[in-house]
Amino acid sequence: MEWPSILLSGITLAAIYGLLAIGISITWSSLGMVNMAYGLTFAASGYGGWLMAEHFSEAGVLVILAGIVTGALIGVIVCLIAFIPIHDKPNFNVRGLIATLALSLIGTQLLLMTFGPQAKTLPPLFGEWQWEMTEELILTADQVGTLLSSLLLLGLTLAWMKGSRRGLEIRAMMMNPYGAAICGIGVRSTGIYVMAITGALAGLGAVLLCQTYFVSPFSGLTPMIKGVSVALCGGLGSVSGALIAACILGLVEALTTAYLGGQYVLITQFIVIIVILLIRPRGIAGMLDKAREA
């Protein structure tokens, strides 16, 4: 594999990991919760896309929309169960982490009981064409589609957060949750919007990744680990940091797969993460959250 192909593969992986990491960062900075049910959201979204393709239509747009909607619904359910009842209780950070982890375990078992252990596959979402730019660089439909759809949804999300009333409320929660509450911003209602948006990001990431790999009850575990790792590496609460970290770790994964083998990906990625956190303990662009620490 030549360098142009490795770089393209790294950027494609970065687009997917960026969706997951940004969702985790937004959840943490606005709600103060590390959502350990993100893997469940990922797996359920993959099944949502599979059900659409299996029983209704294999059209790529519809499969993607099914995954996004499923992710948003799972995010709202997680919010109703694991955030709203306990967000004002002592030690919420720990309580929320345990609650979302418990939901993830329960939900994974429900998926296993419902769909069985056999892996499902998604149809090609963007066709099967390819464009040979040079002898060393060939653009495939899934790579181009993954990049464009990720950038589109992320751009729409950020534009909505900057231009809408609800988006401004979420940004206020990210800056200072206590100050936002004093100003009359509803923590519970804002939490539902946050979890729906971040669930939709996970849903898109799920269908994009599962078209290359597979859908199974446990398919969300590795993406959740990588999403949390990217978010920590970039700095919890920082969207720009998450994007930078996603590019770095995506490139590391592509290089490792090309020269060492896929079985060494997690090892090399965590070595890079450890080095970055030793140099910058709060991540590449981590924010000092004094309001939350107080």
Q: Which residue has the tokens 């994007």?
A: 243
Segment 85-118, tens digit of pLDDT: 888 888 888 888 899 999 999 999 999 999 988 8
Q: What is the mean pLDDT of each run of 10 residues along the chain (294 residues)?
A: 74 85 85 86 93 89 93 94 86 88 92 90 80 70 83 85 81 76 80 91 88 85 85 82 87 87 85 88 66 44
The token pair that represents 187 in the structure block: 């923590």
User: Cα–Cα distance between 220 and 111 in angstroms, integer?
Assistant: 12
Closest among 107, 117, 113 to 40, alpha carbons compared: 107
In this prediction, residue 293 carries a pLDDT of 44
Segment 169-216, tens digit of pLDDT: 888 877 777 777 777 787 888 889 889 999 999 999 889 888 777 888
Burial per residue of 1-25, b for 16 or more beta-carbon CB atoms within 10 angstroms, e otherwise: eeeebbebbbbbbbbbbbbbbbbbb
Beta bridge partners of 130: 140
User: Cα–Cα distance between 77 and 80 in angstroms, integer?
Assistant: 5
In this prediction, residue 291 carries a pLDDT of 41
Beta bridge partners of 139: 131
For the chain, first and last CA: distance in Å? 50
- Who's near 235: CB < 8 A, 6+ residues apart? 25, 241, 242, 245, 280, 282, 283, 284, 285, 286, 287
The token pair that represents 282 in the structure block: 């709060």
CB of 249 closer than 8 Å to CB of 272: yes
